[in-house]
Each structure stands twice: as structure tokens, then as C-alpha cells.
Amino acid sequence: MAETNFDVIIIGSGPGGYVCAIRAAQLGFKTAIVERDYLGGICLNWGCIPTKALLRSAEIFHYLQHAKDYGLSAGVVTYDPGAVVKRSRAVSKRLNDGVGFLMRKNKIAVIWGEATIDAPGKLTVKASKSEAPKGALGPGAYQAKHIIVAAGTRPRVLPGLEPDKKLVWTYFEAMVPEAMPKSLLVIGSGAIGIEFASFYRTLGADVTVVEVLPQILPAEDAEIAAFARKSFEKQGIKLGVKTERGAIVVDGLGKTNVPGIYAIGDVAGPPLLAHKAEHEGVICVEAIKGLHPHPIDKRLIPGCTYCTPQIASVGFTEQAAKERKLDIRVGRFPFVGNGKAIALGEDQGLVKVIFDKKTGQLLGAHMVGAEVTELIQGYVVAMNLETTEEELMHTVFPHPTLSEMMKEAVLDAYGRVLNI
């Protein structure tokens, strides 16, 4: 008879859920994970990963079109929409299989179906429409001392714009177009909206982005968002309007108001980021084990948007720091002053840092330009270690690299910039 009693059951196998399950198994918990559609959740199958595969194809198409800028000749450059989508789906399949391997490796039971929590410690799993992976447990009643909800989010439907999979798309349809649309209206200018806008515009569609708030990329520093907007407009993306949502209320360790029930990831509220979900899963299950982890500090979670140009940030924006009545120093360094950026043909961008004038604490860092999603982690580590401006200024950065701009921006905040 199949096992039905566990120490920990996680509902949802996205990055938050499956990482939480692995950590729970490492800590000695008898662990199961419930999934109804595909291992890896939206992120691996329809979000973070396949969108990056699409954007990579668009990026290479862009470079081929501009080969002469690098002293090269590529002839007539075209693309096959079907092949672009096929590559993206293959990337997702590879990672989906990888999650299945990790579940087997860590002896985590996979329960296939849709879960309903009946009471603390008890849930019912109903049959799913999608095919279960080999070895998965099926529908039935299950019990666990601890239930962690990692169910993610769903596309928001606007009244009068219900998806019909033809003229009105959600990100599901946008991921697998049968043909490139001639024009596209993107509602919402957050990371997902901007990434799709960037992909479709690069491949030739006429794109308009609609945003209700005063600026595009509402979560970003206003100066960085303004820089990005100018770049998008140069590419031919038009801009204009957005909305809100609800979430499960939790403390800094994933606890809900009901003992034995927890929530992590998108379902527990913003920022809606895979890496935030993964970390929440780890600290939630470590708290259950009694390891006393630090509650999550959302201010130290980096945000990345993989459009062209890329955007990355962590900590307070300049406006947020001023609203908190903080006395600040702001430093900036443009890509045009960096030798590596010029050599790469990527000299348009900006690095911006914000410091507390009294203490030297790094309060925030914001970037727009090539590869900034790789650079931002340097500032994230610095903020986690409570590094001061003096320590950053005395850190030796390799030359020639894009990372040198990170030090130059710090130097600029203190009137010591060297290369511009």
C-alpha cells in the first residue's frame, strides 16, 4: 500500500517548492511534494527559464543583424519561429527532467494531482488532467505534520480581455506562438511584460506597452527606469499603463496564522521571484527543524529583468531612501566610461549606488545595461555582509571588466571617481 503519512508535504514543485523539499529531505524529514501539471512549476516550464531561451535567440538575431558593427558579415539574416520555440521547449524539458531526478535522488515522494487542505495536517489530492511521471503517487488522502503551500500565482485576467488564445494571450500563449504577430499590446510593464516586449520587438513585431503607474518597471529606481524607457523607445517600443493582487499573509519564516500550515513563493506575496521563493523554502523548513534561521529580508533580494538592455537592482531606490528621511550619497557611472563595455559594443548603460551618508551603509544598487543581471550579485553580497563604502573602494576589481563600473560608481558617490 502506498505511503500516505509524511513529516512535510509541499504543495507545488516550482523553485520554491522543490528546493524546500530537497532541504527538508537533507534535514531528515520524510518529505513529499504535490504537483498537478509539471515538475519545476511555471518558472522552469513556462516562465524564467524558457523566456530566457527565447530572449537568447532574439539577442543572437540582433547581433547577427548588426554583425558589421563588429567587423563581420553575416549575409541575409532570418529566423524560424517554430525552431525558436522548439529550442525553448527543449530547454524546459531538460530542466523538468532534472527536477524529477533530484526528487528521486533525495528520496522525495511525488504526489500527482491537485491538493486541497482539509484541516491542519490533512489534505486530499484529486486526479490531475496531466500525465503523472513514472513512480508518482496518485489521488488520495494524505497526512503531514507540516504542510507548506508553494502554489505560485496565475495570470491575472482583466474584465473584457479574457484570454481566447488567439487575439488575447496569457504568457502561456506568448511562449509558444505559431507565428510572429505583426503587432502586440503588452499590458503591464513589470519584468514579465518588458521581457516579452523585448523579445517580440527584436524579432520585428510592432510593440506597445501599457502601464497604469507613472513609470514603466514600477519596482525599479526611477532613474534606471527612465534610462531603460529611452532605450526601449529607440528600439521602437511605445509605452503607456497597470493593477494589484492578494496573497497569503506569512511571517518572515513562512508561518501562516494556522499552526502547521506555511506558505512560500509567489503565493506568499511579492517580490514574485524564483530565487526569493527558493530562499523562503529553505528558511521555512529550517525553522520547522528548529535551526533558527534569519527571517527573510526582502530588501536584500535582487530583482532582474532580462530584456535589452538588462535591468538589475537590490535595496532601496533613491526615492524610497528619501521617503524614509535618510541622508544619502548617490554615485553613478555610465557604461560609456568603461573600456570592456566599449570593446563589447555595449556602451549604453548606467550603474547607480545609494549610501547612507552618516554610516557608509550601502542602501541600494541599480543597473541598466549589458550583463547587469550577472553583476548585481556583487552588491547583494556586499549588502548582506554590511560592507561599507570604504571597504568597497579598497576592493581591487579586475581589468578590463564590466565589474569595474561597480567600484567607479562607489567612488563617484564620494567624489573620487577616476575614469570619467
Query: Which DSSP symbol is given to 336?
Result: G
Backbone angles phi, psi at 293, to 5 degrees: -70, 160
Buried (b) or exposed (e) across 50-65, using 16+ Cβ within 10 A?
Answer: bbbbbbbbbbebeeee
Residue 407 to residues 299, 353, 391, Cα–Cα distance (Å): 21, 10, 10
Which is the catalytic residue, given 62, 279, 394, 399?
A: 399
User: Residue 158 to residues 242, 243, 307: CA-CA distances in angstroms?
Assistant: 10, 9, 25
Q: Hey, how many other C-beta atoms are within 10 angstroms of the C-beta on 343?
A: 10
List of residues 6+ apart from 285 with CB closer than 8 A: 8, 20, 23, 24, 27, 29, 148
Contact 168, 162 (CB under 8 A): yes
Of 125, 120, 127, the C-alpha closest to 140 is 125
Strand-by-strand arrangement of the 206-210 sheet = 183-187, 206-210, 238-239
Measure the CA–CA gap between 410 and 365, rounded to whole angstroms.
10
190's grid cell? 513589470
d(CA 51, CA 193): 11
Strand order of the sheet with strand 362-368? 303-305, 311-315, 362-368, 350-356, 328-334
Question: Rounded to the nearest 10 degrees, how much is the dihedral formed by the CA atoms of 26, 31, 35, 41?
Answer: -20
Q: Are 92 and 44 in contact (CB under 8 A)?
A: yes
Give the phi and the psi of residue 411 in degrees, each rounded to 5.
-60, -40
Q: What letter represents residue 140's amino acid?
A: G
279 is catalytic: no
Distance, CA of 406 to CA of 388 (rounded, Å): 14
The set of cell numbers assigned to 191 is 519584468
List active site positions. Answer: 399
